[in-house]
Amino acid sequence: MYAGIEAGGTKFVCAVGTGPDDLTAVTTFPTTTPKETLDLACAFVADHSADLRGIGVASFGPVDLHHSSETYGFITSTPKPGWTDTDVLGPLRKVADVPIGFDTDVNGAALGEARWGAAADLESCVYVTVGTGVGGGAVVGGQLLHGLLHPEMGHLPVVRHQDDDFVGRCPFHGGCLEGMASGPAIADRWGTPAQSLKGEQLEQAVVIEADYLAQMAAALTYILSPARLIFGGGVMQLEGLLEALRARLVEGLNGYLDVREIIEDIDRYIVAPAHADNAGVLGAIALADNAASEPT
């Protein structure tokens, strides 16, 4: 079996298994300091090391994915306090001598949904998470998309909504997508967590959030033309947001892309993840499987 580690900015989720049908030993703990958090992850792996064929880590980022780099397996210039230049893979190598797959948390989730979930019947998809941060991962031709770095979809610039005077909270860009549409941005704007919004505040939040996310969806549609867009994360649990996002995308495209999948089947083009609670850790399991299957 494999060990999967979803290394999120708020929490780590660890599990063992080979896919969604045999996921076991699911363990969750908060993301605190690098040492404390990675010690817990290493202890989890050590407890199951006798039965492992591989480990997969789907991590918040940015991360170094270049195998030839001295900092491969590191979290790099992250906005997460205390985690800049953290070696994630080094401690894990010391507790289990097995192949390790490593990628971003959203790339992992995209791979998991492509293999077992909402895009299992397709050759391409983009997975977007909207929560503590905003990020996206892409599968193209059945393979994860990489390039100079990895996709950083959450830092796309956006046009400010006409009714929104929030300055944005991204420490690098201020009013980028993550700075305007993440869970913390919602909490700052309305003075309460997204899940606590009610009444008029909830309605306002859904309208503004849908506008920013539709700008993202339009950019992804124009640039990558994925067969499906999958939107997950805690913010997407806001009542009516998924439906508002779909409607705002169609409105924003304004008939330019006259394709059935968008015009007639928008509810199948933009979807929720099939494995919402386990998308990240299942993606990590898929990364472990890929790593173990590579020729040595």
pLDDT of residue 36: 98
Q: CA nearest 5: which of 278, 232, 272, 295?
A: 278
pLDDT per position in the chain (296 positions), as tens?
Answer: 999 999 998 899 999 999 999 999 999 999 999 999 999 999 999 999 998 999 999 999 889 999 999 999 999 988 889 999 999 999 999 999 999 999 999 999 999 999 999 999 899 999 999 998 899 999 999 899 988 878 889 999 999 999 999 999 998 899 999 999 999 999 999 999 999 999 999 999 999 999 999 999 999 999 999 999 999 999 999 999 999 999 999 999 998 988 888 888 999 999 999 998 898 999 999 999 999 998 76
C-alpha torsion 89→94→100→101, nearest 10: -10
**CA dist 283 → 11, 117, 142 (Å):** 16, 10, 14
Pairing of strands 24-30, 11-17: antiparallel
Exposed/middle/buried for residue 11 (C-beta within 10 Å: 0-12, 13-18, 19+): middle
Strands (E), 60-159: 74-75, 86-87, 100-104, 124-130, 134-140, 143-144
Q: CA nearest 142: which of 159, 125, 127?
A: 125
Q: CA nearest 45: which of 108, 106, 107, 93?
A: 93
Q: CA nearest 57: which of 92, 27, 94, 19?
A: 92
DSSP result, 159-210: PPPTT------BTTTBSBHHHHHSHHHHHHHHSS-GGG--HHHHHHHHHHHH
Task: Give me the long-range contacts of 92-96 (CB less than 8 A, separation at least 24).
Answer: 92/5, 92/38, 92/41, 92/42, 92/45, 92/55, 92/57, 94/42, 95/42, 95/45, 95/46, 95/49, 96/3, 96/45, 96/46, 96/49, 96/52, 96/55
DSSP state of 295: -
* Cα distance between residue 179 and residue 183, in whole Å: 9
pLDDT of residue 296: 64
Pairing of strands 229-232, 270-271: parallel
User: How many residues are recorded in the chain?
Assistant: 296
Q: What is the pTM of this model?
A: 0.92
Provide the 3-class DSSP secondary structure of residue 119: coil
Work out the number of other CB atoms within 10 angstroms of the CB of residue 179. 25
Residue 40 near residue 12 (C-beta atoms within 8 A): yes
* Cα distance between residue 219 and residue 231, in whole Å: 14
The amino acid that residue 174 corresponds to is G
